[in-house]
Structure 1
């Protein structure tokens, strides 16, 4: 199959923010793993909603409510198609990946007992660690860690050794936010299912780069945040197999998630409304659908190919800087590079390159156990999207060289 070539300069015109200056310099935005930028097509969708059919959904008989409901549910169907999900009601709209994980962790409280075990990988974001620690505190279950090696890859032999009939849940990110590692989730899911364990995959970092087929993966839960893939903040989705979503108790009580309420007893609504209490982020859900439309119009194969070119080019250029060390050298990576320069704190580098209009992330990236593993305080992280260019990579390299000369 021939992958189409992206017209990057035309794509960049879709993103108004890329035309601005920061500190008198053209913006070079390389913090895409934290949040991606938003194209005009998605911005227009947001404006259109508030200008033309802003109304609450699912409850009103008037025209605006019906229009808003139709647009919101159409977005759910776009998500269903994009991720190849069997049933639309297996998609729960949430505020993002963090809420999605907490929903599942809270729901499993009644399913676990003392002595049960849950596994989490060593390269997780805090949002895929802390909720499970809280679950263990509530239930007496044990949290065990799948180790990683110096290349930033999971030690799969140890994972298989950790699995047992005591294992009830396995949690792993599809892609590491701090290192860019693409984890072998197919093997992780298959092995967990063989011992009867359920699996939640944090797909927040994968979704901008990889079009996951959730039926093919046979995963039990999968989470995504819209703002990582050209959508708005404050909205995301939890996919859950119907059998699990029916078992889990409601996460929150309120309007919309009920079938009938009396002061004696409440019965809950069918999926997905059982988990969607209160007025949702209606505009956000609709814009999430628009973001999927936009990215699919470009094509995920083309995005992956171009971003891999950027990754390889940036890696080669950064390694020309003496004293620079990259953390996370897995064979399978997305377009994320975490690095340090010997003798310089990452925060200082980030501060100086910001003066040159270059946005990178510094710190532990909400993945402190990874930094502890490497025995470092944090890293500088440059993360690339399909609207970035090799010329921007060159500016980053020159900016880091300038920072190095100032700080050493």
Structure 2
């Protein structure tokens, strides 16, 4: 195996229209060209201010950067620019929960009230952490109602919530569901969620430029997002936001996270088991298998199937879910992926451990998901076609 390394290619095409800089060998140059071909059209079509794309193949990674992290300040995107990764944060929440499980601090069959006693006596006593972590609790909504603005209102909401379907029978994508899953995992570890991520997860994974709360010293690397009206924006605080969509990270850090998922054996045993735990499938939902954080597809997978599994209906509508009993680790080549968005940012992560390939896309505009996946699929195909 090659020793992991990182080389950075700055693609200044949005600024001056130049071709991508050649990498340090012919194969890398071909990947640079594939990134250029795949990402130039959506950059132009959706007026994306800035973008970072990181790829890995056989333990070697590269970061490609386009455009600006801040239009007003004319700051270029770099490998260390911080982007809001939106719901890709859920993969970190899942890893933390799997870490707590590996330490014996929780079982996925526990009810959340074991760790959050204020919920005892509510309908959530009949819901497991596994069901919270796979959006199959029975109808928790995509977002909290607007009236839920603090911890007291959140507690009242959860105490009075009633399921619309039996737990474990349908998947309804939900920030409150995943957020409560993360809050219970942090409580099982005896701490605050943000602190648990900062002090346990990021250091174990070797991530030095990833944050829930961006410190003052790193604010100069934090990109501005752009949505409607072109005013620079960043994510607003919300209840359980850290657990569901609160991580800010760089392309360089995120590709390290991808490489840890591709080859967890280089991690210390507790974290290795945690990462491996997020690769287990628990529910079949159409053409996709839902695990903790990651969503899975047999590989190779067509662009159409990947886009269908990430279509708006999968986010906005309840889908029938069939529990895998027993849960299944992948039995063959498998693509893992997750999308994420905030009002001003869009992200996509995908990797295939058996092929030792992966990709991260971070943008400071919420590019349509179908376009993100089309570009990523093309680059992953190019990575897969490269020789050893």
Short-chain TM bin: under 0.3
Normalising by structure 2, report the TM-score: 0.27
Highest Rg: 1 or 2?
A: 1
